[in-house]
């Protein structure tokens, strides 16, 4: 079987977020334990597994995502990576519908080589700042928001971009504060010259990922959060990890559109 590594939410290799992609020619997924072993072997934030579905249904492909430690209900960058592989191999063109744990997701190939993902908007609920989260992050927290069932993160607003970039969190101490991870965010220091409106960093020690390079699913929460504050539905976020990546967001009520590019960096054969 062919297995690929695709850098997502970037237009150049060795940036953005790498995802494994395995397209299956079967009509069902292999055993869950095998899927998990492959994802653990890949040791990337997520590995996407997809198989084609019969024509005439609600979706074209079934899609699942595994981190090195667990299956997740929603993943943006690995969905983008899967769409990129489908297009680059000729397996699919235009708009592709995926059946996933979080519902039907669509990806649309654009003329400039990027893809737009249609994902459910995270329902934000402001909550008291949990005791200990500021100490674990190493920064004061201005506000905290639960992001709902699909992603299960705690979104925390920090004072400014410099604070987000300077974080050196105690990742084991963050585990107690959310179901999946922590999204730390602040407004961009100079959006007119930088080309982005807000910054973020994402920490998922619960899933075996201390820091995720660029997290598409987190932007389904960041989009409504910053659209409400900046009073615009079209925004661009920079995830300020060491690899970094840009995610263009467009808020459409209960759906959020995420746009970015992808580059294949490894194309190999899975022998096991």
pLDDT at position 125 is 97
Give the phi and the psi of residue 45 in degrees, each rounded to 5: -55, -45
pLDDT at position 173 is 93
CA distances from 143 to 65, 118, 121, 171 (A): 30, 27, 19, 20
**11 backbone φψ class: left, alpha, beta (φ>0; ψ -120 to 50):** alpha
pLDDT at position 185 is 98
Query: What is the block-wise mean pLDDT of the chain (272 residues), using blocks of 10 residues?
Result: 97 97 96 98 97 97 95 95 97 95 96 96 97 96 94 96 98 89 97 96 91 96 98 98 96 97 97 86
Does 46 participate in catalysis according to the annotation? yes
CA 9 to chain centre: 9
Catalytic pick among 41, 46, 189, 211: 46
CA distances from 237 to 22, 148, 199, 243, 244 (A): 28, 20, 6, 14, 10
Instruction: Look up the pTM and report it.
Output: 0.94
pLDDT at position 201 is 98
pLDDT at position 156 is 98
């Amino acid at each position: 079987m062919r297995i690929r590594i695709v850098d997502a939410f970037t237009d150049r290799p060795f940036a953005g977020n790498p995802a494994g992609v395995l397209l299956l020619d079967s009509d069902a997924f292999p055993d869950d334990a095998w899927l998990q072993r492959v994802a653990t072997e890949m040791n990337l934030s997520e590995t996407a597994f997809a198989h084609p579905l019969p024509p005439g249904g609600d979706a074209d492909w079934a899609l699942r995502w595994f981190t090195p430690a667990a299956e997740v209900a929603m993943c943006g960058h690995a969905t983008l990576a899967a769409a990129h592989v489908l297009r680059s191999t000729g397996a699919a063109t235009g708009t592709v519908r995926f059946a996933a744990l979080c519902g039907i997701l669509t990806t649309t190939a654009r003329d400039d080589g990027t893809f737009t993902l249609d994902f459910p908007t995270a329902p934000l609920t402001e909550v008291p700042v949990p005791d200990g989260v500021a100490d674990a992050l190493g920064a004061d927290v201005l506000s905290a928001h639960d992001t709902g069932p699909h992603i299960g993160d705690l979104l925390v607003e920090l004072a400014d971009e410099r604070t987000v970039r300077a974080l050196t969190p105690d990742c084991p101490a963050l585990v107690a504060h959310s179901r999946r991870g922590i999204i730390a965010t602040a407004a961009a220091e100079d959006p007119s010259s930088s080309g982005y409106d807000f910054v973020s960093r994402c920490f998922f020690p619960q899933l075996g990922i201390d820091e995720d390079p660029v997290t598409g699913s987190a932007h389904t929460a960041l989009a409504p959060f910053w659209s409400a504050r900046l009073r615009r539905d079209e925004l661009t976020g920079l995830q300020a990890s060491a690899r970094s990546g840009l995610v263009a967001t467009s808020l459409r009520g209960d759906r959020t559109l995420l746009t970015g590019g992808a580059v294949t960096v490894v194309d190999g054969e899975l022998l096991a």
